Amino acid sequence: MPRKVILAANWKMNLTMKKSTDLVDDILNKMKNKDNCEIILFPSFLHIPAIMEKIKGRNIGLGGQNLYFEEVGAYTGEIAAFQLVDVGCTHVLIGHSERRHYFHEDYETVNKKVIQALASNLKVMLCVGESLEERENNVTEMVVVDQIVSAMQNISIKNLNDISIAYEPIWAIGTGRNATPADAAHVHKIIRKALGRIFNTDAAAGISILYGGSVKPENIKELMAEEDIDGVLVGGASLKAEPFLDLMKLIN
């Protein structure tokens, strides 16, 4: 079965309510109803219900940028998987490098979040990627494989339909530098191999692996030309309608 092509927008801690809903309006008004890719938006938690109202019936996924791994209860300031589902989320981002780095999410935390999300019927987009120092020390493959293996602990093969991976080299995020398509594709192959060892090669062949890190209309074509790159996770270039619509057109 061909893998799903995914265009995902990570708005991070950007935009007011008005700006994010205007952006959604703009995208919806101008996008052609093509089904060449699956679109998923990851706005601020606060804007999710308003955006949900706008995208109803439009075949666009909506997700949280994070969740807490406990099911429910006294965890002041946290957001539960069931609460994301309750307001219409279909997806959640887990293990973004900004979460791992600034909020000290370790392998165990990421794994617990993946487990909770899947148990709550959310589709998981798991982010992995190496730092510049790790790349320079030639440990990229080891780091990324460790991130995959640890995140997949106690995950059943039945859940693989609900998982996609976003490979985002940290040094390429928001910096304007991106990995060469061949470098990215190489790491994507390593990730698929690791998934093959954990589950099996057939199952691993069906998982969409996205690239992220300074993706823009100018470089998406060459990235998507690589066989193992199945989509993109976009930060900066998803904050305005025009580049995002261009990405939509160019993705395949």
Report, as residue numbers or ranges, the catalytic residues: 96, 168
Question: By C-beta, is 90 or 219 nearer to ligand PGA?
Answer: 219
Q: Is 212 in the site for ligand PGA (CB under 6 A)?
A: yes
Question: By C-beta, is 49 or 174 nearer to ligand PGA?
Answer: 174
Taking the complex as a whole, the smallest distance from the CB of residue 164 to ligand PGA amounts, in Å, to 13
Residues 6+ apart with CB under 8 A from 173: 97, 98, 129, 212, 213, 214, 235
Cα-based angle 181, 144, 135 (whole degrees, multiple of 5): 65
Q: Is 129 in the site for ligand PGA (CB under 6 A)?
A: no
Q: Is the C-alpha dihedral spanning 198, 36, 181, 247 positive or negative?
A: negative
Q: Which of 51, 80, 215, 223 binds ligand PGA (CB under 6 A)?
A: 215
Taking the complex as a whole, the smallest distance from the CB of residue 107 to ligand PGA amounts, in Å, to 19
CA-wise closest residue to 113 among 149, 83, 151: 151
Query: Which residue stretch of 13-21, 180-188, 190-198, 235-243 sits at the interface with ligand PGA (rule: CB under 6 A)?
Result: 235-243
Cα-based angle 116, 208, 161 (whole degrees, multiple of 5): 45
Q: Is 169 in the site for ligand PGA (CB under 6 A)?
A: no
Question: By C-beta, is 198 or 251 nearer to ligand PGA?
Answer: 251
Which amino acid would we find at residue 87? V
Interacting residue ranges for ligand PGA, rule: CB under 6 A: 10, 168, 173-174, 212-215, 233-237
